[in-house]
């Protein structure tokens, strides 16, 4: 237990985070590349077509991982915001800052791929149902968090405002998740749940699982990389960064 705590404490120091992330990052990039490559080739070329939707169901291999990540990233951002607000750990704020554009991109991908799938399947690309609308609100929340962070002249005020919006906005996540159960929606209920078997055969969900894992590895790798450059940017005047730059400045 003591070891874990000291590891977490070290992560809170920008210098240590910079050193530890350098060792972790290549593995996550590698895992992301392999998983996404295997998952997309398997899903797009080898998985069987659906009995009703034919090949258009294959959009699921991008849509579902992007939608999972869009929600997970928002929760991570809110947790990072809470850690920053309560324990004043700067690295948490830097991570939250770099996660927001990633999450916004994932939300956009899931909305866009859903619309492309909706045209042949539903007969419309957009409908103001609870799932689609709550997902659109998530996109606006991401844009709001990004804009709010930049709207203050002092970085600390911007960080705190963005953290509060992220923490309050996290209420939208259970609404997205349960919207298809609470209300009548055009969007179908979840195919996957923790408690029951997926309503999909193995040869269809195995590549999906690989894609989801690949997307998560990509998110971790990208967050580590972007947090590292954020650390260098914010700590540019610190001695260890100057030494790292080899006394160039």
Q: Does 181 bind another protein (CB under 8 A)?
A: no
Least separation in angstroms between CB 11 and another protein: 18
Contact with another protein (CB under 8 A) among 123, 154, 195, 237: 123
Contact with another protein (CB under 8 A) among 5, 46, 52, 195: 52
User: What's the N-to-C CA distance of the chain in angstroms?
Assistant: 41
Of residues 21 and 110, the one with the C-beta less far from another protein = 110
Q: Are residues 166 and 142 in contact, defined by beta-carbon separation less than 8 angstroms?
A: no
Least separation in angstroms between CB 123 and another protein: 3
Which residue in the block uniquely carries the two structure tokens 């916004």?
104
Mapped onto helix, strand or coil, the DSSP state of residue 186 is coil
Per CB under 8 A, the segment of 19-27, 34-42, 168-176, 214-222 that binds another protein is 168-176
Of residues 26 and 174, the one with the C-beta less far from another protein = 174
Q: Does 125 bind another protein (CB under 8 A)?
A: no
Contact with another protein (CB under 8 A) among 62, 170, 224, 241: 170
Which of 179, 15, 217, 215 lies closest to 105, judged by CA? Answer: 215
Least separation in angstroms between CB 218 and another protein: 24
Angle formed by the axes of helices 130-150 and 90-121, nearest 10°: 150
Site string for another protein, 89-108 (x = CB under 8 A): --------------------
Size of the site for another protein (CB under 8 A): 45
Which of 61, 38, 176 lies closest to 113, judged by CA? Answer: 61
Least separation in angstroms between CB 85 and another protein: 6
Residue 197 has a CB neighbour count (10 Å cut-off) of 10
Of residues 123 and 246, the one with the C-beta less far from another protein = 123
Name all contacts of 154-161 with Cβ < 8 Å and 24+ positions apart: 159/84, 159/93, 159/96, 159/97, 160/84, 160/85
Distance CA 21, CA 151 (A): 30
Q: Does 128 bind another protein (CB under 8 A)?
A: yes
Which residue in the block uniquely carries the two structure tokens 């929600």?
71
Q: Does 5 bind another protein (CB under 8 A)?
A: no
Q: Are residues 110 and 195 in contact, defined by beta-carbon separation less than 8 angstroms?
A: no
Of residues 60 and 106, the one with the C-beta less far from another protein = 60
Phi, psi of 200 (to 5 degrees): -160, 140
User: Could you give the maximum distance between any two Cα atoms of the chain, in Å?
Assistant: 64
Q: Which stretches of the chain bind another protein, using CB under 8 A?
A: 48-53, 57, 60, 82, 85-87, 120-124, 127-130, 164, 167-168, 170-171, 175, 182-186, 188-191, 196-204
């Amino acid at each position: 237990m003591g070891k874990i705590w000291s590891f977490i404490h070290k992560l809170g120091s920008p210098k240590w985070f910079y050193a530890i992330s350098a060792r972790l990052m290549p593995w996550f990039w590698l895992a992301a590349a392999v998983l996404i490559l295997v998952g997309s080739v398997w899903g797009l070329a080898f998985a069987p077509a659906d009995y009703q939707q034919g090949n258009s169901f294959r959009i699921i291999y991008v849509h579902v991982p992007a939608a999972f990540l869009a929600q997970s990233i928002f929760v991570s951002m809110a947790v990072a915001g809470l850690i920053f607000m309560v324990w004043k750990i700067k690295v948490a704020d830097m991570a939250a800052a770099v996660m927001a554009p990633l999450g916004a991109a994932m939300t956009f991908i899931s909305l866009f791929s859903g619309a492309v799938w909706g045209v042949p399947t539903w007969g419309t690309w957009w409908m103001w149902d609870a799932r689609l609308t709550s997902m659109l609100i998530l996109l606006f929340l991401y844009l709001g968090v990004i804009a709010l962070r930049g709207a203050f002249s002092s970085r600390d005020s911007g960080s705190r405002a963005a953290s509060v919006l992220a923490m309050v906005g996290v209420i939208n996540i259970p609404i997205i998740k349960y919207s298809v159960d609470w209300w009548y929606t055009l969007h179908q209920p979840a195919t996957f749940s923790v408690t029951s078997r997926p309503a999909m055969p193995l040869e269809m969900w195995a590549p999906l699982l690989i894609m989801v894992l690949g997307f998560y590895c990509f998110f971790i790798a990208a967050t580590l990389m972007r947090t590292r450059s954020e650390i260098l940017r914010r700590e540019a005047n610190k001695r260890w960064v100057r030494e790292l730059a080899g006394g160039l400045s």
